[in-house]
């Protein structure tokens, strides 16, 4: 029976007794209203209750039979621990239980007054929403199926001073069980990954329990969310910039070796392992946005797979002569596959695009550039495991 139904049932029974005169005859007095019989602080409907305020339920006489205080979440409710005093006249939270900010609470109480009359009361209140709220923007999305190289990444809207408190409030767990560890890149970004790529079929759950967490002076978390995603098949690709080829593997089976064009002498492609961040059937590429000025502005680049936040893509190329692919590196740092304008499903670029997932690993070797930075996109696979673990704020 829900709290609302229980309240209605008890009040209906009390009204029926009062209506036929039995309450006055048996108990010898006028029944109190629920508000008089059960006194709740904060008052019903109160807003902006401070986390330091205490919830108290009292009766002037008689005894409390039951009190339930709950925090209402998107995916259910969380009870607030507490106990009724030995004399039955009050209920208070247990120990150091505190209210959390930006939350809605309900209070349900049932009591007997000094004449044996039963009353029930249901109230609600909401807590203070801090002006400096901490919010984490996460990838991947809930319900996604991703490649085995996916790294869970959280970008916070404000700098985090107490990294340990925030990291304790975020967990990434896997089924089957896998060791997953966090790594901080500066004060705003927290990534999670296992020692090696995920096993296909793994179910990953990220729990954000940031509500009430003090991330920095005056900065409180407000999120309470569970994100689940699935690891799909294992596909990796290896671009050899010197040989102008890309070999695509599914597990240990080679699917294809495709001719490519990588970054030219003035703007070579990063070496190292990169993870597909986004898939775009068509996108615009403007040199102005990545520091190349007016050198290029292509409004309809087909089959574009983003590899870094700095602007490295693996994409279809319809403007270069066919002999370029497999023969010369001519791009501004991207990796190009032969395509046609508008994107062809049977071209090398179309073939690879249709077989790729966000979270697939693309590794570049034998380029003349440096290794991609671990925080440029999801480049954390380039960091040794011990170094990765050392970036956690927890022991």
Name the token pair of 142: 């809930």
Rounded Cα distance between 64 and 83, Å, is 10
pLDDT tens-place string over residues 342-354: 998 899 999 999 9
Q: Delineate the domains of the chain, giving CATH numbers in brackets.
A: 3-127 (2.60.40.3780), 133-233 (2.60.40.3710), 235-382 (2.40.440.10)
Structural contact between residues 214 and 169, judged by C-beta atoms closer than 8 angstroms: no
Cα 282 versus chain centre, distance: 27
- pLDDT value for 218: 87
Given the residues 244, 303, 315, 332, select the one marked as catalytic.
315
Query: Which segments of the chain have a pLDDT < 70?
Result: 1-30, 74-76, 287-296
Structural contact between residues 99 and 81, judged by C-beta atoms closer than 8 angstroms: no
Confidence (pTM) = 0.76
- pLDDT value for 128: 86
- pLDDT value for 73: 74
| β-sheet with 189-194: strand ranges across | 136-139, 152-156, 189-194, 180-185
pLDDT tens-place string over residues 161-180: 999 999 999 999 999 999 99
Rounded Cα distance between 40 and 53, Å, is 13
Cα 82 versus chain centre, distance: 30
What pairing do the DSSP bridges indicate for beta strands 214-216 and 180-185? unpaired
What pairing do the DSSP bridges indicate for beta strands 335-338 and 313-317? parallel
- pLDDT value for 4: 38
Given the residues 122, 244, 303, 334, select the one marked as catalytic.
334
Rounded Cα distance between 374 and 383, Å, is 7
Q: How many CB atoms lie within 10 A of CB 380?
A: 22
Whether 334 is a known active-site residue: answer: yes
Name the token pair of 34: 């629920």
Q: What's the Cα-to-Cα distance from 286 to each of 268, 296, 299, 325, 332, rounded to whole Å?
A: 18, 6, 8, 22, 11
Whether 115 is a known active-site residue: answer: no
């Amino acid at each position: 029976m829900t709290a609302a139904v229980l309240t209605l049932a008890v009040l209906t029974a009390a009204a029926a007794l009062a209506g036929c005169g039995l309450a006055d005859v048996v108990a010898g007095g006028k029944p109190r209203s629920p508000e008089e019989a059960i006194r709740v602080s904060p008052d019903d409907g109160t807003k902006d209750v401070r986390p330091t305020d205490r919830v108290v339920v009292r009766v002037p006489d008689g005894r409390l039979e039951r009190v339930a205080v709950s925090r209402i979440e998107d995916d259910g409710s969380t009870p607030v621990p507490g106990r009724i005093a030995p004399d039955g006249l009050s209920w208070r939270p247990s120990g150091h239980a505190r209210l959390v900010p930006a939350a809605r609470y309900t209070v349900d109480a049932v009591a007997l007054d000094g004449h044996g009359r039963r009353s029930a009361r249901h109230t609600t209140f909401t807590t203070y929403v801090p002006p400096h709220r901490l919010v984490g923007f996460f990838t991947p999305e809930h319900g996604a199926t991703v490649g085995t190289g996916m790294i869970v990444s959280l970008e916070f809207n404000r700098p985090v001073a107490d990294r340990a408190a925030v990291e304790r409030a975020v967990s990434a767990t896997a089924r089957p069980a896998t060791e997953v560890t966090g790594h901080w890149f500066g004060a705003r970004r927290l990534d999670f990954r296992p020692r090696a790529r995920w096993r296909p079929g793994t179910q990953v759950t990220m729990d954000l329990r940031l509500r009430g967490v003090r991330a920095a002076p005056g900065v409180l978390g407000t999120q309470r969310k569970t994100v689940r995603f699935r690891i799909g098949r294992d596909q990796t690709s290896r671009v050899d910039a010197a040989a102008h080829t890309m070999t695509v593997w599914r597990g240990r089976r080679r699917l294809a070796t495709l001719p490519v064009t990588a970054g030219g002498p003035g703007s070579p492609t990063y070496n190292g392992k990169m993870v597909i961040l986004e898939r775009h059937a068509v996108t615009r590429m403007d040199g102005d946005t990545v520091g190349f000025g007016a050198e290029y502005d292509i409004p309809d680049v087909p089959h574009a797979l983003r590899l870094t936040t700095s602007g490295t893509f693996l994409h279809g190329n319809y403007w270069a002569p066919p002999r370029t692919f497999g023969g010369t590196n001519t791009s501004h740092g991207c990796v190009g596959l032969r395509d046609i304008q508008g994107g062809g499903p049977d071209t090398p670029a179309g073939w690879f695009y249709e077989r790729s997932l966000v979270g697939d690993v693309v590794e570049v070797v034998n380029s003349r550039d440096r290794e991609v930075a671990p925080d440029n996109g999801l480049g954390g696979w380039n960091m040794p495991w011990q170094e990765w673990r050392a970036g956690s704020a927890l022991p």
